[in-house]
Amino acid sequence: MRTVIFSAKPYDRTFLDAANGGRHHFTYLETRLERESAPLAAGHDAVCVFVNDAVDAETVTTLAKGGTKLIALRCAGYNNVDLKAAGEHGLTVARVPAYSPHAVAEHTVALMLSLNRKIHRAYARVREGNFALEGLLGFDMHGRTAGVIGTGKIGERVAAILTGFGCRVLAHDPFENPAVTALGARYVGLPDLFAESDVVTLHCPLTEATHHLVDGEALAGMKDGVMLINTSRGALVDTPAVIDALKSGKVGYLGLDVYEEEGPLFFEDRSARLIQDDVFSRLLTFPNVVITGHQAFFTREALRNIAETTIQNITAFETGQGTLHAVTL
């Protein structure tokens, strides 16, 4: 199938070409898919998009007019696609439901340990010849309570790793996962999870129900000095409310791999330009905040699985054979 790959990076090309083996015709574009760039897809049967491509109703209409029939997401989340509009125009939407929960879970725990043991600060100090330990005091993860919100594939792995550390794990999810209960975790309501957890980590999808799940009220119900980690989707967290909580000391540690307004920032080298987003810039001023630029998924294993499932989706759509991981409303 003639497929245009938006937001294509050299690593996408490497893994997609290897998985494709020349079967489908790929056009690689560095630009994001959005209203202005949607006409570039004309004449292609499929578009292949990533997390920050904006596939809203107007974009879907342009794609449909240009002859596109399939939107193949090379990610698990699909909050950036207007599924209603896609359905109305007869476009199929497919995604990669699982590629490496380990990648995201392990990065989540890397953020926790970096923040706790202040690795980001120690790294800079030692390179400056400063071997003083003041300001680097951490705590044992063993015996601490961790609250995992969303216990699907990634949340389950995070719960397993934290159980291995000797943490007491509390969980919250509308659907209990028996594998998480088997680890010894206990499902509780959100208020109890917030009240009892030393570490709160987010692993639920972004939906209307979870938008700003962590807002001022939720933060007020958390322990003083809580560690908050978000490797899921930026808009789960009300960032100005978290900045207030950092200033008051309510939040003692913040680890982010995602940010509500990450679209214009992430996945590009902007080091020679000024950051215009004042909220993001404020976050960067706190010594107890570690931010990575949506890299939790970024392992060799995950990229290989993403590429293979994407090719599988395109082939299944074209031939009607094999598994198509379709997304419906």
Helices and strands: H and E segment counts in the chain: 12, 12
Residue pair 64/89 in contact (Cβ under 8 Å)? The answer is: yes
Residue of closest CB approach to ligand NAD: 152
Interface with ligand NAD, residue 237, by CB under 6 A: no
Give CA–CA dist 271/305, Å, rounded. Answer: 31
**Best CA proximity match to 6, nearest among 23, 36, 18:** 36
**Least separation in angstroms between CB 312 and ligand NAD:** 17
Which of 40, 64, 183, 205 binds ligand NAD (CB under 6 A)? It is: 205
Sign of CA dihedral 37, 40, 43, 44: negative
Residue pair 145/170 in contact (Cβ under 8 Å)? The answer is: yes
Interface with ligand NAD, residue 101, by CB under 6 A: yes
CB-nearer residue toward ligand NAD: 259 or 318: 259
Residue 24 known to be catalytic = no
> Of the listed 144, 262, 318, 325, which one is catalytic?
262
Please identify, among the stretches 13-21, 33-41, 228-236, 274-282, the one whose residues bind ligand NAD according to the rule CB under 6 A: 228-236
Give CA–CA dist 49/263, Å, rounded. Answer: 13
CB-nearer residue toward ligand NAD: 98 or 160: 98
Beta bridge partners of 64: none
**Best CA proximity match to 202, nearest among 231, 179, 222, 165:** 231
Please identify, among the stretches 126-134, 231-239, 269-277, 320-328, the one whose residues bind ligand NAD according to the rule CB under 6 A: 231-239
Interface with ligand NAD, residue 233, by CB under 6 A: yes
Please identify, among the stretches 28-36, 193-201, 205-213, 242-250, the one whose residues bind ligand NAD according to the rule CB under 6 A: 205-213
CB-nearer residue toward ligand NAD: 203 or 325: 203
For β-strands 2-5 and 145-149, DSSP reports them as: unpaired
Residue pair 310/72 in contact (Cβ under 8 Å)? The answer is: yes
Residue pair 147/172 in contact (Cβ under 8 Å)? The answer is: yes
Interface with ligand NAD, residue 258, by CB under 6 A: yes
Residue 294 known to be catalytic = yes
Number of C-beta neighbours around residue 3 at 10 A? 24
Give CA–CA dist 183/35, Å, rounded. Answer: 46
Scan residues 138-157 and list those touching ligand NAD (CB under 6 A).
Answer: 149-155
Which of 63, 76, 81, 111 binds ligand NAD (CB under 6 A)? It is: 76
- Give the up-direction half-sphere exposure of residue 123: CA atoms within 13 A in the CB hemisphere: 6
CB-nearer residue toward ligand NAD: 76 or 94: 76
Residue 261 known to be catalytic = no
**Best CA proximity match to 96, nearest among 164, 36, 15:** 15
Give CA–CA dist 226/45, Å, rounded. Answer: 48
Interface with ligand NAD, residue 200, by CB under 6 A: no
> Of the listed 24, 294, 318, 325, which one is catalytic?
294
CB-nearer residue toward ligand NAD: 78 or 317: 78
Interface with ligand NAD, residue 257, by CB under 6 A: yes
**Least separation in angstroms between CB 180 and ligand NAD:** 9
Phi, psi dihedrals of residue 187, rounded to the nearest 5°: -80, 130
Interface with ligand NAD, residue 216, by CB under 6 A: no
Which of 32, 74, 294, 325 binds ligand NAD (CB under 6 A)? It is: 294
CB-nearer residue toward ligand NAD: 253 or 297: 297
Residue pair 62/40 in contact (Cβ under 8 Å)? The answer is: no
* Residue numbers annotated as active site: 233, 262, 294
- Contact footprint for ligand NAD (CB under 6 A): 76-77, 98, 101, 104, 149-155, 172-175, 203-206, 209-210, 231-233, 257-258, 294, 296-297
